[in-house]
């Protein structure tokens, strides 16, 4: 799918994390990249950070002082599932898994498997969540 077609299907927005493009202007993302950027934005936002949308975000920073154990992983999984299901209508979740990072005991790794609603394409987004260790 070309970038132009992808932008028409999935939209276009400021890239996340924000930065400058090669031309010195604000970097943009389009198509499937925009969907992934928005998913990351949802997962990295704390509820209450957006004044006009106080419920937006997954609230994953609350796990910073929680142990890196199965019960904490289950809570993270529930938060990720709820937030992405609520705030990203361009995807359908097919699975969310959380496991400890084998290289860092203070980190849990979240793998989000999803399907793009418009095309049926499947992908995986992986993010790290800081936990107490």
The pLDDT value given to residue 32: 79
Which residue is it, tokens 């993010």?
127
pLDDT of 77-131, one tens digit each?
999 999 999 999 999 999 999 999 999 999 999 999 999 998 999 999 999 999 9
Count of the separate structural domains present in the chain: 1
pTM as predicted: 0.82
6-35 residue pLDDT tens: 555 556 566 656 666 777 777 656 677 889
Statement: residue 70 has pLDDT above 60: yes
User: What is the domain range of residue 56?
Assistant: 3-130
Provide the CATH number for the domain around residue 37.
Answer: 3.10.450.40
């Amino acid at each position: 799918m070309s970038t132009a077609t992808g932008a028409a299907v999935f939209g276009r927005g400021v890239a996340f994390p924000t930065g400058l493009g090669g031309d010195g202007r604000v970097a943009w993302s389009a198509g499937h990249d925009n969907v992934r950027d928005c998913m990351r934005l949802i997962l990295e936002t704390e509820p209450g950070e957006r004044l006009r949308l106080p419920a937006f975000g997954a609230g994953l920073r609350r796990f910073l002082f929680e142990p890196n154990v199965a019960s904490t992983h289950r809570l993270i999984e529930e938060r990720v599932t709820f937030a992405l299901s609520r705030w990203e209508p361009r995807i359908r979740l097919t699975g969310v898994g959380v496991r400890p990072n084998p290289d860092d005991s203070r980190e849990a790794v979240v793998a989000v498997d999803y399907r793009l609603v418009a095309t049926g394409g499947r992908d995986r987004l992986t993010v790290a969540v800081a936990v107490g260790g």
